[in-house]
């Protein structure tokens, strides 16, 4: 009999295992992967953006906007910086609060080593079949037999990026315990162009530019045209608020007074003058679509106003997202209403905990999701 069974040895599960074991709890973490922390290893393209020093409740999408506050204050970004320093892992500050490690794999391995050193046990390459509570004890059935524990922590993440072992087991198990799962969908995901803009995206594949996306999708940063639509940090962030049928209003030249900028080159062809503000191929495409030909001085006031509007509120109506296989995170998940925000324990089922991405908590791009995994895993680890 274990004190704590943790399902999933990812970012949240590893942190939770370390904390439980450090409290002297006999802890077993189970995972179907052969190595723990698969997503940490691939995060940030191998250069894990492990936290954001500005992380606060407003950086998360959750049906209860206050839910993340307690866990974030119990285990802060600076606690993880301490962890990095203790393990001699260099920290790179990339601005806007984003802290990176050049060695994502080393971060995962340090977490694993710490948990083992504290005495946590791991059952890897194991298939979890079911989990239930019997006479006040949790029982997990696997392809290697049954395990019992006084507490059970669900830390199996969500279905985003199945290539790294993600699955929808978490909601299936949670629902069997009578917990509600809010509809899940891909988040931090590229958006696929509709028929109208698909040719443009194909033609501009690889071109990127700084943009600002208007509310309610509010995001800022680079937009990258791809073969199927748009991606890049601004688009990934905007995808968190995007819903089917909605149109993004994209400012292709943030903070630029287009009329004034164009007025500086009255004799220049409009498309060439515009190429001073935008990637050349995009400038050419906009001019063809808007019918803005000839020298800048030949444009009427009305045409200039239309040109300005086309640049500052370019409309993009996605046909959909690129799906879970291209999504960094899962939106939705187990409803936080069922849990204490301080301990992550289910209010109606003592001993049952839920942490990380499996919960209906999704961070913006920039290190917020891993911070949530560390913080929620830590909070549960203090009580489970």
* Residues near ligand FDA (CB under 6 A): 8-13, 31-33, 38-40, 42-44, 48-49, 128, 155-157, 160-161, 164-167, 169, 328-329, 356-358, 367-370, 373
Residue closer to ligand FDA, measured from CB, 233 or 367: 367
Residue closer to ligand FDA, measured from CB, 208 or 369: 369
Residue closer to ligand FDA, measured from CB, 52 or 151: 52
The nearest distance, CB 267 to ligand FDA, in angstroms, is: 48
Picking from 366, 317, 307, the residue whose alpha carbon sits closest to that of residue 196 is 317
The nearest distance, CB 266 to ligand FDA, in angstroms, is: 47
Cβ-proximal residue to ligand FDA, closest one? 10
d(CA 83, CA 10): 17
In this structure, what token pair is assigned to residue 292? 């803005």
Picking from 301, 249, 250, 299, the residue whose alpha carbon sits closest to that of residue 271 is 299
The nearest distance, CB 75 to ligand FDA, in angstroms, is: 14
d(CA 306, CA 329): 38
In this structure, what token pair is assigned to residue 14? 């590893």
The nearest distance, CB 104 to ligand FDA, in angstroms, is: 8
Picking from 38, 34, 28, 24, the residue whose alpha carbon sits closest to that of residue 7 is 28
d(CA 303, CA 308): 9
> CA 213, 218, 221: angle at the middle one, nearest 5?
55
The nearest distance, CB 12 to ligand FDA, in angstroms, is: 3
The nearest distance, CB 174 to ligand FDA, in angstroms, is: 13
Residue closer to ligand FDA, measured from CB, 120 or 156: 156
d(CA 48, CA 39): 9
Residue closer to ligand FDA, measured from CB, 197 or 366: 366
Residue closer to ligand FDA, measured from CB, 239 or 369: 369
Q: Quick check: bond before 68 cis, omega within 30?
A: no
Residue closer to ligand FDA, measured from CB, 114 or 308: 114
The nearest distance, CB 177 to ligand FDA, in angstroms, is: 16
**Torsion sign over Cα 53, 54, 59, 62:** positive
CA distances 16 to 9, 19, 108, 193, Å, are 9, 5, 14, 40
């Amino acid at each position: 009999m274990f004190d704590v069974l943790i399902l999933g040895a990812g970012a949240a599960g590893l942190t939770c295992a370390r904390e439980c074991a450090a409290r002297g709890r006999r802890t077993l973490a189970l995972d179907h992967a052969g190595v723990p922390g698969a997503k940490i290893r691939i995060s940030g393209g191998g250069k894990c953006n492990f936290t954001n020093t500005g992380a606060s409740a407003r950086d998360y999408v959750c049906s209860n906007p206050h839910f993340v506050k307690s866990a974030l204050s119990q285990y802060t970004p600076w606690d993880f910086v301490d962890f990095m320093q203790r393990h001699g892992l260099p920290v790179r500050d990339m601005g806007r609060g984003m802290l990176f490690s050049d060695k994502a794999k080393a971060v995962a391995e340090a977490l694993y080593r710490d948990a083992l050193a504290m005495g946590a046990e791991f059952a890897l390459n194991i298939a979890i079949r079911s989990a239930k509570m019997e006479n006040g004890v949790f029982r997990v059935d696997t392809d290697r037999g049954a395990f019992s524990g006084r507490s059970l922590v669900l830390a199996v993440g969500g279905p985003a990026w199945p290539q790294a072992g993600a699955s929808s087991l978490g909601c299936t198990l949670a629902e069997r315990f009578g917990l509600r799962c809010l509809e899940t969908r891909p988040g931090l995901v590229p958006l696929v162009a509709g028929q109208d803009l698909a040719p443009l995206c194909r033609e501009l594949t690889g071109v990127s530019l700084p943009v600002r996306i208007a509310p309610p999708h509010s995001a800022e940063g680079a937009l990258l045209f791809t073969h199927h639509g748009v991606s890049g940090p601004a688009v990934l962030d905007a995808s968190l608020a995007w819903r089917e049928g909605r149109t993004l209003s994209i400012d292709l030249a943030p903070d630029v007074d287009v009329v004034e900028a164009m007025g500086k080159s009255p004799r220049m062809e409009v498309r060439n003058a515009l190429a001073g503000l935008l990637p050349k191929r995009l400038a050419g495409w906009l001019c063809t679509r808007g019918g803005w030909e000839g020298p800048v001085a030949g444009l009427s006031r009305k045409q200039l106003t239309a040109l300005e509007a086309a640049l500052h509120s370019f409309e993009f109506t996605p046909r959909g997202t690129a799906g879970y296989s291209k999504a960094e995170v899962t939106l939705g998940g187990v409803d936080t209403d069922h849990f204490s925000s301080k301990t992550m324990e289910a209010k109606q089922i003592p001993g049952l905990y839920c942490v990380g991405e499996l919960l209906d908590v999704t961070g913006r791009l920039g290190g917020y999701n891993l911070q949530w995994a560390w913080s929620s895993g830590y909070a549960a680890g203090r009580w489970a």
